Structure 1
Amino acid sequence: MTVWRITDGEGGLESGARAEPCYDIVEHETALLRIAAASASPRLLLSGEIDVSNASDVAHALHAVQARQRGDLHVDLAAVEFMDVAGLRAFTKAARDLHDHDRLLVLHAVSPHIDRLFTLIGWNTSPGLEIHCRPRR
């Protein structure tokens, strides 16, 4: 989801300029994966690789944001270089949990390989999951 701030005030962004969310909470950081959260909104920014060794950390971060924020949960995957089935499972489970509360898990900037994995396994249609900004084929 692109957030646009419309202001022309002094020191503000020009009309239509893109406002970047402030990821001010580090939920998890290792050599393999970094997870940052925006305390003022239900957003996560992931970078690195998601696999069986850290999928539980991803699940924990998703749950933490669900607990402290209302509404849909948005995850930016632009900087995720690799994800295996364990990572997909963490996102799919979080999406089902959110769906049970009439909320969505929205994945942004999904790479072609991650989109293909979701589709091959059939989890791209999981309740509560929306893959936004799909890659061009």
Structure 2
Amino acid sequence: AWRCLALKRGRDGLGGPNDYGLEEGSDDDGERWGGDRVLKAMREVGAVDLLVVVSRWYGGTNLGPVRFDHMRTCAREALKAHMDEEALGPLREELSGLDGEIARLRGQGAATAASYADLDDLDKAQRLVTAKKKTVELLAKR
């Protein structure tokens, strides 16, 4: 299944957001209604400019209709992981910048900044940003 913003016919993209339209679709490749379930998961999380492929291997056990729940769950979890990773990038950069600002305010000069490359928890990253912003505010008041 895919969802993407595409340039509308006869538009050049310079007219702003109205020059683009959302295009989406899916291919079941023989698994009737499978693509629709993946596309629905993409709509639920607001995923755009992505392609999601869910593949299943038939091992001899007929799963029945529950297979569609598995497809949708698989797609949803993959999308969440991707979107969390996309959100973590700017937070990691912000944390590094805040570390530099804290070091400057403390008069430590160019202190060695922590590496946030291994930070993979979105909630934790947001909490760290909030805490470091409060630290900067307190240090700036001194």
More helix by share: 2
- TM-score band, normalised by the shorter chain? under 0.3
Q: If the length of structure 1 is used for normalisation, what is the TM-score?
A: 0.25
Structure with greater Cα Rg: 2
Give the alignment's TM-score, normalised by structure 2: 0.25
